[in-house]
Structure 1
Amino acid sequence: MARSDARPIVKLRSTAGTGYTYVTRKNRRNTPDRLVLRKYDPVIRRHTEFREDR
């Protein structure tokens, strides 16, 4: 069964410059612009913003 294009896989890259990434899926219909989430970065051991990287 093929995956739908309505929910593509996106990479979330840390804005702290550590190079750490999360991989998640998002719904393009509900969030057409780039995703920004506040998540834990284990390299610097703090919560920081993660932005969608294409």
Structure 2
Amino acid sequence: MSTKNAVRGIVTMRSTAGTGFTYMTSKNRRNTPDRLVMRKYDPVARAVVEFREER
């Protein structure tokens, strides 16, 4: 693992609408140890829904 990504890890955000659509993002694992939740657009559902971090 490189020094650039030692703290910031890549996480997958999956839609709670059940469509299976995902976003990829990164987060600082030291500052945010709990799961990330964001409201983003789901093009399959054609709506803004919650996306939760997958492990």
Same topology, TM > 0.5: yes
Equivalent position amino acid for 1:11 in 2: T
Q: Secondary structure at the match of 2:8?
A: coil
Gaps of 5+ in 1: none
Gaps of 5+ in 2: none
The match for 1:37 is 38
How far apart, CA to CA, are the structure 1 residues paired with 2:5 and 2:40?
26
What's the TM-score once normalised by structure 1's chain length?
Answer: 0.91
Establish whether residue 11 from structure 1 lines up as the match of residue 4 from structure 2: no
Aligned-CA RMSD value: 1.4
Higher strand share: 2
What's the TM-score once normalised by structure 2's chain length?
Answer: 0.90
The percent of aligned pairs where both chains have the same amino acid is 69
Q: CA deviation at 1:29?
A: 1.4
